[in-house]
């Protein structure tokens, strides 16, 4: 379980300090935490509106899951060296996902290997951050992983409020409350050689996330009115 875990000395203490900061700064409200498997490989498939999404999801995960957590991150954005790559690696054990096939390599090779090794993999199937607040189409990559790893649970996940914390194009986070809702594990099927089934599975996951978003938004609105 050390394959993708950062070996930098800062990884021994920085994640714990970071989680404290996130909890105090955005006060995440969590629902459905009981749906997170405590062992074995699984996929967290979430909507994506902000770079804060990964931080919030990682922070609220159960303690026993965090050591085997990896976050899929865009190779062309987070893996070009410098501070972004350094922080994403020591905080979230980030692994690169290519958004295209240039270079001839499998863009999901690290994601597949992480699942094979028993990690909890965070994916943003939209492939990019939403600028409208709406959940965009899910790419077929998550369906391909479902086909390649049958029986692996997929946890549909909705994160709300992070677009206010760190909107696309902004680097300084702002202190707004956020909501994370984990749905029941999905055990979907797709055929390894039939791409159409990959997209069908991806669409099913997206629909589950959309359902969670409606519940979470309604819950947030009622809570705000009560305050």
Mean pLDDT rounded to a whole number for the chain = 90
> pLDDT higher for 74 or 76?
74
**Whether the Cβ atoms of residue 186 and residue 143 lie closer than 8 Å to each other:** no
Q: Which tokens go with 45?
A: 């498939």
- Which pLDDT tens digit goes with each residue over 97-144? 887 666 667 889 999 999 999 999 999 999 999 888 899 999 999 999
Q: Give the H or E element holding residue 71.
A: strand 69-74
Provide the pairing of β-strand 29-31 with 179-182. Answer: parallel
User: How high is the pLDDT of residue 171?
Assistant: 81
Whether the pLDDT of residue 225 is over 60: the answer is no
Mean pLDDT, rounded, for 214-221: 52
User: How high is the pLDDT of residue 1?
Assistant: 58
Whether the pLDDT of residue 215 is over 70: the answer is no
Indicate the SS3 state at residue 171.
coil
Which residues neighbour 81 within 8 Å (Cβ) at sequence distance 6 or greater? Answer: none
Looking up tokens 């954005």, which residue turns up?
77
| CA–CA separation, 62 and 33 (whole Å) | 8
> pLDDT higher for 214 or 201?
201
Which is it for the CA torsion 193, 139, 113, 186, positive or negative?
negative
């Amino acid at each position: 379980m050390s394959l993708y875990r950062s070996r930098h000395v800062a990884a021994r203490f920085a994640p714990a300090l970071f989680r404290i900061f996130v909890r105090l700064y955005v006060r995440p409200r969590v629902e459905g935490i009981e749906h997170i498997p405590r062992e074995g490989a699984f996929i967290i498939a979430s909507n994506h509106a902000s770079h804060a999404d990964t931080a919030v999801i990682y922070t609220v995960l159960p303690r026993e899951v965090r050591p085997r957590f990896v976050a899929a991150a865009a190779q062309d954005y987070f893996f070009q060296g410098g501070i972004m790559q350094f922080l994403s690696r020591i905080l979230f054990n980030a692994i690169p996902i290519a958004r295209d096939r240039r270079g001839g390599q499998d863009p999901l090779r690290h994601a597949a290997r992480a699942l094979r090794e028993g990690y909890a993999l965070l994916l943003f199937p939209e492939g990019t951050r939403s600028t409208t607040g709406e959940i965009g189409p899910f790419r077929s990559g998550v369906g391909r992983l479902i086909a390649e790893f049958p029986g692996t649970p997929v946890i549909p996940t909705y994160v709300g409020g992070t677009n206010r914390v760190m909107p696309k194009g902004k680097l300084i986070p702002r202190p707004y409350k956020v909501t994370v809702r984990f749905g029941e594990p999905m055990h979907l099927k797709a055929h390894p050689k039939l791409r159409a089934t990959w997209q069908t599975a991806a669409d099913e996951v997206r629909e589950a996330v959309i359902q969670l978003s409606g519940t979470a938004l309604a819950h947030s609105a009622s809570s705000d009115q009560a305050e």
